[in-house]
Structure 1
Amino acid sequence: MVEVYDLGLITYEQGQKKQEEIYKYVLNNKQIDGVLIFLEVDPVITTAYSSERGEVIFSKKQLCERGIRSVQVDRGGKTTLHGPGQLICYPILNLERFGKDLHKYLRNLEEVVINILKELNIDSGRKDKYTGVWIGEEKICAMGIHIKKWITTHGIALNNDIDLSLFDSIIPCGIKDVGVTSIKKLDIEVEMSILKEKFVENFNKVFY
């Protein structure tokens, strides 16, 4: 089974530092399957390898006025946003122990989130050509990963009770004409601690 680290609410940079530490730990201890890192961060836009100009709508001044920072990260996917009330999970896994199949890994992560939402009586699913978990035309969970030496980093961001107006500053995941939603927007309230427990339970069911 994987180990679990809960970092709570920290800065994005602190989260990245811990992720790199855990990556080295998993890389150098091939007898373990991996580690799940849970965290929340203050408002930050992350742009990725394939992000395109125009995906960040607000100017630097507008972002600063709203207390939003922007950072470049080493993951796949497009531009996204993180903030308090969003459950971020970084699975740092040794895929040599789960099968060297990136497509299957992504689908499994989606399945974990879909199962969690089902337990909350929320009907969600996948969307053709896009990663992540959707409710109709609105994304509730974004995904972006990086893999080096078959060890995974980065992961998923599930919107629980995050301020959805923060997403007005970007084109989420570079996809126009679709929206974002959250568990709270669906009139369901759930403690973050409960979501973390459900994530671990469903991760173990899907991956094992």
Structure 2
Amino acid sequence: MSLTVGAAGAAFVWLATPHSREIHSAWDLVAKLIAFACLCFAIAVFPRTSPRLSWLLYVPFVFFTGYLIPRISWFYYGDGARAQGDSFYTHLYLLLYPGIVLTVAAAYRIGGGTPGRCLKVMATGVVIVFSGFLDIMWQVVNPVAIPDVIDAPHINLFTGGPISFGATIVFALAHVPIIVGINLLPLDRWIGRLLGADPAR
């Protein structure tokens, strides 16, 4: 059920919401997160420990190499004279990064990971990308001057507008206790109680 809802939600996000770096309205972000959460839950409760299911892990490779990476590469190699910031951002952060998170979690689940720990892997991946860590490291690893302010839509949503580079570091560090807290949650116990079953199944 969650896989169906997640797939339908992903289709809705792709077809009916703006492909843009900016967050035009809160419901845009909510729709994306709900669709992603449903896909996360579907992977977390997916049947595991069957060698016959390992072939499913090849599917993301086909998607990445058959569409996503060639499409992202086009924005640099094929159409470098025309900036396509929104399309590049959409394919990189709305498809590639979530795809990596879901693929890692699926591999962990099929390899024997419990539903709760799968959810922790995926939630941690989401918190890291929204924490501001990427925005800080973009300035550090690239040959650019450190800016006075960081203007990132996912940070602006909480702060009300651009914040200083130092404040962005504080913003990112504030997510460390959140990540620790997520990974300390007894999710498998809660899932077991909710489903009335062995959480490892």
Question: TM-score when scaled to structure 2?
Answer: 0.26
Question: TM-score when scaled to structure 1?
Answer: 0.25
Higher share of residues assigned helix: 2
Higher gyration radius (CA)? 2
